Amino acid sequence: MNKIKRLSSGAFLLTAFVALTASAESNHDWTYNGEHGPEHWAEISKDFHACEDGRAESPINIEGAKKAPADMPRLKITYQPLPIDIANTGHSIQFNAAPGTDSITLGGRVYQLVQFHFHAPGEERFAGKESVMDAHLVHHSDDDKLLVLAVQFKIGDQPNSVIQTMLDRIPHEKGAEFKVKAVMVNPLDLLPKDTGYYTYSDSLTTPPCSEGVTWIEFKEPVIITQQQPDAMQRFYHGNQRPVQALNGRDIWEVN
């Protein structure tokens, strides 16, 4: 049976780290424009100070990457199909991963997939250009480290199967969640075939803008049809934080 569940009190039901991750619901009302927009996030709560005084903030413009040294640890992805669980968070459309199911490994540390969500247009820029939409896959390790895998989308003639499976089931009401065990998606189908990526140290792109997040940004975009971002943008259009200063951070290119 299909089930629409209300997220009572939003973040209170979630564990602390989920509250920290992008797009989890917050008590503090923030938006992408107007008086609660990105330039005012730090004024909304003391907890959001990094949104203003942070020095390693996200998103960035990716340009001038250096070749990664040969001994830099490589990413290993272990994803398998997950039961569908879609939340309309009030800031984006988010897929909540079944705990402990999907993980990635980097440098001996295992990170569990917590959720993934979408921004339209895409948040990271590439030599100043934005994509039509992106996905951020948020991961958490046992020792409280966060890692985001980011995928950019590009318009073509092939719909993406994960997005398509989600589109018909997005709850219209903010704060609502749609969960059903019978329908599965594999987050692997959101990722490009070419596993080359850029990596850098960054932050969450949403309040509290916490830093120390490892970012892995796939170089190859994934094809979607125009209808897919159009449908997603009926829920959220412009949930994109402005580009933040690099402040001397290195961007590494891994092939």
Segment contacting Zn ion by CB under 5 A, of 22-30, 37-45, 165-173, 181-189: 22-30
What is the closest distance, in whole angstroms, from the C-beta atom of residue 35 to Zn ion in the complex? Answer: 22
Write the interaction track for Zn ion spanning residues 199-228; mark x where CB under 5 A is met and - where it is not: ------x-----------------------
Nearest to Zn ion of 22, 86 (CB atom) = 22
| Shortest separation between residue 12's beta carbon and Zn ion, angstroms | 21
> 28, 49, 91, 136: which one is catalytic?
91
3-state secondary structure of 162: helix
Site residues for Zn ion, 111-170, by CB under 5 A, read 136
Q: Compare residues 68 and 88 and give the one whose CB is closer to Zn ion.
A: 88
The only residue of 14, 20, 22, 224 in contact with Zn ion, by rule CB under 5 A: 22
CB of 47 to Zn ion, least distance (A): 18
Q: Of 60, 105, 70, which is closest to residue 255 (Cα–Cα)?
A: 70
Name the residue nearer to Zn ion (CB basis): 68 or 153: 153
Give dist(CA 234, CA 222) in Å, integer. Answer: 21
Near Zn ion by CB under 5 A, which window of 107-115, 163-171, 185-193, 198-206?
198-206
Q: Cα separations (Å) of 181 from 82, 88, 176, 177? A: 8, 18, 17, 13
Nearest in space to 253 (alpha carbons), one of 59, 62, 60, 67: 67
Element (H, E) at 231: helix 227-233
Tokens 């339209």 sit at which residue? 120
Nearer to Zn ion, 102 or 124 (CB): 124
Minimum CB distance to Zn ion, residue 181 (Å):
26
Quickly tell me which residue has 């030599």 as its tokens.
Answer: 127
Q: What is the DSSP string of 103-162?
A: EEEETTEEEEEEEEEEESS-SSEETTB--SEEEEEEEEETTS-EEEEEEEEEE-SS--HH
Which of 77, 101, 84, 91 lies closest to 164, judged by CA?
A: 84
- Give the length of the chain: 255
Nearer to Zn ion among residue 136 and residue 140 (C-beta): 136
Q: Determine the interface stretch with Zn ion among 16-24, 25-33, 69-77, 209-217 (rule: CB under 5 A).
A: 16-24
Q: Shortest distance, CB of residue 20 to Zn ion, whole angstroms?
A: 13
Annotated catalytic residue 140: no
* Residues that are catalytic: 91
What residues line the site for Zn ion (CB under 5 A)?
22, 136, 205
